[in-house]
Structure 1
Amino acid sequence: MLAPERRTRADVLTAVAIAALVAIAAAVVWWHSGVRGTQSVTAAETLTPPPTPEQLPTAYSELWHAADGAAFRAIGVGGVAVTAEGNTVTGRNPVSGEQVWKYQRDIPLCGVEFQFGTVIATYRDDRGCSQTTLLNAETGARLTARSSYMDDSVKMSADGTYVLALGKDRLEMWRSDLVRTLEYGYVDAPVNPRTQPRSGCTLISAASGASRLAVLEQCPKETADRLTILNPAPKDSTTPEEYSSHVLTEPGGTVSGARVLAVSDSRVVLYLPGTQSSAPQFAVYDLSGNRIATHQLSGPLSDNAVVSHLSSAYYVFTGDSLVALNATTFDPLWGIPRVLGTPTLMSGKLLVPVVDGLAALDPTTGAQTARIPMQRTNYHNEPITLNSVGPTILERRGTELYALGPGQRTS
């Protein structure tokens, strides 16, 4: 029988040194991780989504408001209103404004979007707007996260299938679990060189749908904007798959201000600004980049123009009017003047912000069916986006989110 081995003093010292190195490595990882600078307060109980009223209220008044500078539109998911400001995303009771949950980091927010009952929060570090976290919208619980090189500023949008994060040098498409399906534009450390179709281009505007992504870009040595139509989820996310790409020959493609408004499975609609020889217009293209329709506008889109997608139509807020477009063909359905922003749906009607409150419209014809009075405080003509949680309307004006409740203010 062999005698048991004895630990020597050298063995003990070696074990202590290994343990110390492991502790130091763990501390370094923790110090540089996002966990160290993160505070997550989840909901003690889930708010039940309130029912939508069968009939529209006859009046509305302001209930509360909160700073919302990092959002791109009014956010209401399930039974929660969401605000994003500084480095904090907050889920709130839509009636009282009280905090339900909070997610906070020690780096600034780039932007917040929502889709599929989740909130997508993107933060800025030394690699740009690269740190993205997916939160359960009702509880604030962290679901997953991703990190990748991005621009210092991005605009995020959700199309019902994917999330688009657009910067001036590159864009990414993400699935509902934040897995990247496409990168396009500048790549900081490409594994396979020359996988991108072009280099050095500035991305001007983009919009996505379930099966198509349209990008407007300005490329070196080209005298007009380029329209590129892509697969949002090619087989290899690092290798874009183009359906078409061509430099615009239309007059509006040679001046600044063009933008992608919307994308369907078969068409793309652009806004082309007017020139000395042409009026501003909505231009519709097929997937091969052929222009198949144009719709002249009475005036240009403002810099504050906003597009929203509700039910079977897109709604373009031009800056002073609202134009409804068919969601498949992008043919104009109707238009109304003197509005303040984009609408929301409630009780089968389209609610639109107007000077003296809210106009209720027939979504099919645009005919006004009711006028709901409401007085806005501290409003300075900023474009408004609307959302709703049950009977509560969420109205984002500038960098503030206001909650509007049924009834007249009593004090």
Structure 2
Amino acid sequence: MLAPERRTRADIVIAAAIAALVAIAAVVVWWTSAARGTESVTAEEILSAPPTPDRVPTDVRELWHAGDAAAQRALVVGGVAVTAADGAVTGRDPRTGEQVWKYQRDLPLCAVETQFGTVIATYRDDRGCSQTTQLYGDTGARQTARSSYMDDSVRLSVDGTYVLALGPNRLEMWRSDLVRTLEYGKVDAPVNPNTQQRTDCRLLSATSSSSRLAVLERCAKDSANRLTLLNPAPKDGTVPEEYSSHVLTEPGGAVDGARVLAVSDSRVAVYLPGTGSTAPQFAIFDISGNPIATYPIAANLSDQATVTRVGSVFAVFTGKDLIALNATTLVPTWVYDGATGSPGVVGNPALMAGQLLVPVTDGYATLTPDSGTPISRIPVQRSDYHGEPISVAVVGPTILEQRGGELYALGAP
């Protein structure tokens, strides 16, 4: 019969050394992981979306405000107002401003958006704006995440189906689960080499619909800006599928400031600045990139111009007035610049009780969405306001306006 094995002093020393190495490795992994620099406070109680009011208020005042410098517009998801500043994304009670949930990292925020009942937050590390986290909008709990090489700055936009992450050199399209459906532009580590049609271009502007992605880019060999129409979800996300691409020969096609305004399933609207001898205009193209029509406008868009989908129109805030484009044909249908002697438009609108709330310098003008006919005025005394553009969102009876790096809530006294 064999004698039982016995532990020696050397065995004990080796086992202790292995345990110590495992512990050290665990500490190193934790110290270098994203979890160490992340704080996540989820909601103790879920806020349900408040009922839609049956009429717009006649009198409102400021209820609260909070820092919101990292968001590109006023954001609402369900019954929660969302602010983003100093690495933190915070869900707030829209009536009181109290924190409902919070997600914070020790990295700079690049951009934040909301869609699919979630909040999408992109952070910058040494690979650019590469780390994106998706949070449940009602609880703030982490749903999923993605990481990829990106530019040092990006803009997030949503179209109801996809998320577009646009940088100056490359862009990506993501599904509702943040799985990438398309990469386009300069790719640092291509899975399939030589699949990008152009890699020497600067991406000026882009916007998407569920079936089309329109990109305005300036390429080194081109004499003017190039309009490219792509499939937002090709069979292989690393191989862009072009519907058309051509250099703009229209007046203003080579002028700085041109941008894609809106995309429908059949058309694309592009803003072309004035050239000195020609007026600025909206140019409409079909899905093959063929020009359909042009519509002169009164003045060039400001650098702070915005486009917002509101009901059945795309509302273009030019910097001084509001132009509505039909959501299908993209043809301008009405313009609102205020009556003579009245305060001017200062931001994008939002829908409330079936009316458009348009921010003007002394409050809000309410308009009919289909014709832009003025209905009434809501006076507002804005604190610390210096004429900055205002982005508006509505949650129940509360009006949210983002301006000057802050989110302000307005409601009945």
**Taking structure 2 as the reference length, what is the TM-score of the superposition?**
0.96
Query: What is the letter of the counterpart of residue 387 of structure 2?
Result: N
Q: Which residue of 1 aligns with 2:126?
A: 126
Q: Which residue of 2 aligns with 1:336?
A: 336
Question: What is the rounded CA distance, in whole Å, between the counterparts of 1:169 and 1:324 in structure 2?
Answer: 31
Deviation digits for residues 249-287 of structure 1, max 9, x if unmatched? 112111111001111111111000010221101111111
Q: Which residue of 2 aligns with 1:252?
A: 252
Q: Which residue of 1 aligns with 2:49?
A: 49
Question: What is the rounded CA distance, in whole Å, between the counterparts of 1:181 and 1:33 in structure 2?
Answer: 27
Alignment of 1:307-322 (within 5 A): 307-322=307-322
Query: What is the letter of the counterpart of residue 261 of structure 1?
Result: L
Question: What is the rounded CA distance, in whole Å, between the counterparts of 1:100 and 1:359 in structure 2?
Answer: 31
More off after superposition, 11-20 vs 112-121: 11-20
> Alignment partner of 2:30: what SS?
helix
| Aligned partners of 2:361 and 2:387 also within 8 Å | no
Question: What is the rounded CA distance, in whole Å, between the counterparts of 1:2 and 1:200 in structure 2?
Answer: 75
> Alignment partner of 1:21: what SS?
helix
Query: What is the letter of the counterpart of residue 245 of structure 1?
Result: S
Q: Which residue of 2 aligns with 1:351?
A: 357
More off after superposition, 4-13 vs 210-219: 4-13
1:2 offset after TM fit, Å?
5.7
Deviation digits for residues 316-370 of structure 1, max 9, x if unmatched? 0000100111111101111100211111111111111112211111111111111
Query: Is residue 366 of structure 1 aligned with residue 359 of structure 2?
Result: no
Q: Which runs of 5+ in 1 are unaligned?
A: none
Query: What is the letter of the counterpart of residue 349 of structure 1?
Result: Q
Deviation digits for residues 154-194 of structure 1, max 9, x if unmatched? 11111111111110011111111111111111111112211
1:220 offset after TM fit, Å?
1.2
Query: What is the letter of the counterpart of residue 393 of structure 1?
Result: I
> Alignment partner of 2:89: what SS?
strand
> Alignment partner of 2:276: what SS?
coil
Q: Which runs of 5+ in 2 are unaligned?
A: 338-343
Question: What is the rounded CA distance, in whole Å, between the counterparts of 1:189 and 1:14 in structure 2?
Answer: 43
| Aligned partners of 2:72 and 2:111 also within 8 Å | yes
Alignment of 1:12-411 (within 5 A): 12-337=12-337, 338-407=344-413
Deviation digits for residues 217-271 of structure 1, max 9, x if unmatched? 1111211111111111111111111111111111211111100111111111100
Question: What is the rounded CA distance, in whole Å, between the counterparts of 1:359 and 1:22 in structure 2?
Answer: 65
Q: Which residue of 1 aligns with 2:340?
A: none
More off after superposition, 272-281 vs 19-28: 19-28
1:5 offset after TM fit, Å?
4.0
Question: What is the rounded CA distance, in whole Å, between the counterparts of 2:186 and 2:76 in structure 1?
Answer: 34
Query: What is the letter of the counterpart of residue 294 of structure 2?
Result: T
Question: What is the rounded CA distance, in whole Å, between the counterparts of 1:174 and 1:311 in structure 2?
Answer: 24
1:20 offset after TM fit, Å?
3.1
> Alignment partner of 1:254: what SS?
coil
Query: What is the letter of the counterpart of residue 114 of structure 1?
Result: T
Query: What is the letter of the counterpart of residue 242 of structure 2?
Result: E
> Alignment partner of 1:382: what SS?
coil
More off after superposition, 146-155 vs 2-11: 2-11
Deviation digits for residues 28-73 of structure 1, max 9, x if unmatched? 2222211000001111101122112112211111111111100010
- Give the share of equivalent positions with the same residue, in percent: 70
Question: What is the rounded CA distance, in whole Å, between the counterparts of 2:407 and 2:324 in structure 1?
Answer: 25
1:3 offset after TM fit, Å?
5.2
Query: What is the letter of the counterpart of residue 225 of structure 1?
Result: N
Question: What is the rounded CA distance, in whole Å, between the counterparts of 2:181 and 2:13 in structure 1?
Answer: 50
Deviation digits for residues 109-129 of structure 1, max 9, x if unmatched? 111110011111111111111
> Alignment partner of 2:279: what SS?
coil
Question: What is the rounded CA distance, in whole Å, between the counterparts of 1:361 and 1:59 in structure 2?
Answer: 17
> Alignment partner of 2:35: what SS?
coil
Question: What is the rounded CA distance, in whole Å, between the counterparts of 1:197 and 1:2 in structure 2?
Answer: 73
